[in-house]
Every structure is written in structure tokens, then in C-alpha cells.
Amino acid sequence: MNCPFCDSETEYSNIGNHWRQSCGYPEPNHLTDDFDGLLMGDGCLKHTHNPDKRAGNQSIEVVSINKKFVDFLYDEYYPYFNKPKVRRTAKESANNAINSEYLSGDTGNTFRTQYRIVSKAIPFFNRYDSWKSTGDKSWPKDIEFNPTQIRYLYVADGGLSWNKKTKSSRAQITSSNEPNMIDRLVDKFNNIGIDCRSYEDRMMFKARYTQEFLNFIGDNPVPGFEYKWEIDNLDRYESLYRNVYYDEVETYTI
């Protein structure tokens, strides 16, 4: 990998070492909202460790069965992420569930290959130390809830609820880890005229406001989650959903 931040033409097998030793670590402040959003959703924080066991810089890890999505993260945020890798095959996921007694003897469960993508460990990500100040990941109390942050939250913990009689859809977001934040999110949207309601750890938009919500977060779908933007055609929605979770993915059923 060449370094995009200096004039060196060297191909680096570990560009992180190059940043640390000579070029200097990048500070992608223009992407703060993007990384906030990933961490509000499925992203988690990981510390590297130095040889003497001291904690090093933070990195962001995302694990997903949606290969198109993790490939998008690599391309979109190059060079800040390493290439995605298979974390666990579909069969390995099934065996892991059996060994952990997660299945409790049930059958008919379908497992999918999991992919893992991890960012470079750079000082920029140490700003997220405060998100784990209590031991568990939690959003900061002063988070702004801007469109980019909510866009990634919707990808991770949101989706469409369909009324199959009227074939109308409503966007919703669930946050069981941050239920106290749901009311804040609801207030934000109601204050800008996009009507929604809270139900314990879930917020839901009225059908006629769902398009306005998608316009707010960006009406161009996040790759791999096109079905969450398909609000008009139930058949098309179901086809896109099947592509992600059945047709274009390795599965293993026990």
C-alpha cells in the first residue's frame, strides 16, 4: 500500500508502522461523523497492545454477515481500514452456537458467514475512550444526532416495518443499549417536522414521513442495505432482502 499522505512511492506492507515511524498519523477529522455512526451501531472499540502489554491506540471493528457492506467500508474509508476477512464460516458459526449451548437443542437454525473489518490503530480513534468510560460502549450525552450518524445507526439497528394489507412501510430504529437516547432522537425529528413516536427502546416514523426521514439521512442507500431504502414496492423489498441474507451468501442450516 502506498501512503496517500506523503510523497513516498514505497509500497508498505504495514502502513501503520510507516505513519508511526516517519510520516505521522493521519487525523481524519472530516470523517468523525461517519465513525461516530459506525460506533453508535454495530461497531466496537478495540485496543492494540504494545509488547510490554501497555494499551496502545484504539481501533474500530465491525463484524457483519453483509459482505457488500464491509467491502464498502474498506473502499469508502481507505486507507483507514484493513481489508475485510472471514471471521467465521457459516458452518463454524453453527458449531460455535452448538458449543456455546446457544441453540439449546433447537433445529432449523440458519447461520451465515461472518466478515470482520478492523481499522488501523491510530491516535485519532482514542477520542472514543470516553465512549467506554463505564466499561460498556455508550453514546456521549452531548452527541448531536446529525444525518451521517443516524444514517449508520439506521443501517445497524433500523429497518422498515411493512403493512402487507396496504403495502405501506414505516421506518423504525431500535436501540436496546441506549433506550434513554430514543426520546432525544424522537424530539429531534419532531422538532424539525418529521413526525415519529417512541415505544420503549424503539422509535417509529409514520408512513407518510418515512421518505422525509430517508431524505434527512441521505436517500442514496448504503451499499448492502438497499432494502432498507425500498419503501414503495414490497416485492422489490423482499427480493433485495433475500439477496443479502439468502441468495448471495453462504448459509448453513442445522
Domains and CATH numbers, the chain: 26-132 (3.10.28), 147-253 (3.10.28.10)
32 vs 4, higher pLDDT: 32
Give the Cα separation of 242 and 253 in Å (integer).
16
Q: Within a 13 Å sphere around the CA of 59, how many CA atoms are in the beta-carbon half? A: 18
Give per-residue pLDDT as tens, 17-53.
Answer: 888 888 889 999 999 999 999 999 989 998 765 555 4
pLDDT of 211 > 80? The answer is yes
Is there a cis peptide before residue 79, judged by omega within 30 degrees of 0? yes
> What is the pLDDT at residue 6?
83
Give the Cα separation of 235 and 40 in Å (integer).
30
List the grid coordinates of 13.
506492507
Cross-sheet strand order for the sheet of 85-88: 44-49, 55-64, 114-118, 85-88
Q: What is the 3-class SS of 141-202, one letter each residue?
A: CCCCCCHHHHHHHHHHHEEEEEECCCCEEEEEEECCCCHHHHHHHHHHHHHCCCCEEEECCE
Q: Which amino acid is at 191?
A: N
- For residue 101, the SS3 value is coil
> What is the pLDDT at residue 102?
64
pLDDT of 82 > 70? The answer is yes
CA distances from residue 224 to 68, 71, 146, 148 in whole angstroms, order as listed = 5, 9, 22, 17
> What is the pLDDT at residue 135?
67
Give the Cα separation of 212 and 150 in Å (integer).
14
> What is the pLDDT at residue 176?
79
Give the Cα separation of 133 and 175 in Å (integer).
19
